[in-house]
Amino acid sequence: MATQYYFCSQCQKKYPTHQKLFDTLYEFSKAAPEDCLACGVVRELHITLDFPLGAGDTDFKVVSAFLPDKLESWLGEEEEEVTLYPFLVVLQRAGDRKQFCWMPYWHVTGKEAKYGQHAVCLDHRQFESLIGQIWGKARDQEEEFELV
């Protein structure tokens, strides 16, 4: 389970978000975090993720978070509209400069956000390698390629 908080690197204060992770990431993708109430420095968003298979709990600074320009929606069960929110979140492990690309997603039905169970987290170089392969293949085949 992920936990999130805002952190002031100047005065070392932690500010809990009191929000669900979806709401925190959504707001972060739209606007910069607020300034620290004590010193006025812009606060950083941090999240702690519990990765399985021995990867452990790790504290990350959220460098940036993105959503597609256009979100996809469809009619789900009981004729409810379902909207997919696929995030691309650039994380930096607290204490070093190594960055990762984390891709969590939520399905939102009405006001309920249901977390995707298979979010991927890749080292920044691995992510760039995959994207480079996509664009290289499209270029080789002289095709137009769209990430879906």
Per-residue pLDDT tens over the stretch 10-55: 998 898 888 999 999 999 999 988 888 889 899 999 998 876 665 5
Domain membership of residue 87 (yes or no) is yes
pTM of structure: 0.79
Domain membership of residue 60 (yes or no) is yes
pLDDT at 3 over 90: no
Domain membership of residue 16 (yes or no) is yes
For residue 135, which phi and psi values (nearest 5 degrees)?
A: -65, -35
State how many domains the chain has: 1
Given this model, what pLDDT does residue 99 score?
Answer: 85
Domain membership of residue 145 (yes or no) is no
Given this model, what pLDDT does residue 143 score?
Answer: 52
Give me the long-range contacts of 111-114 (CB less than 8 A, separation at least 24): 113/20, 113/22, 113/23, 113/85
Closest alpha carbon to 60 in 119, 121, 18, 12: 121
Domain that holds residue 95: 3-123
Domain membership of residue 61 (yes or no) is yes
Each residue of 77-87: pLDDT tens digit?
888 899 999 99
Question: What residues pair up with 82 in beta bridges, in sequence order?
Answer: 74, 109
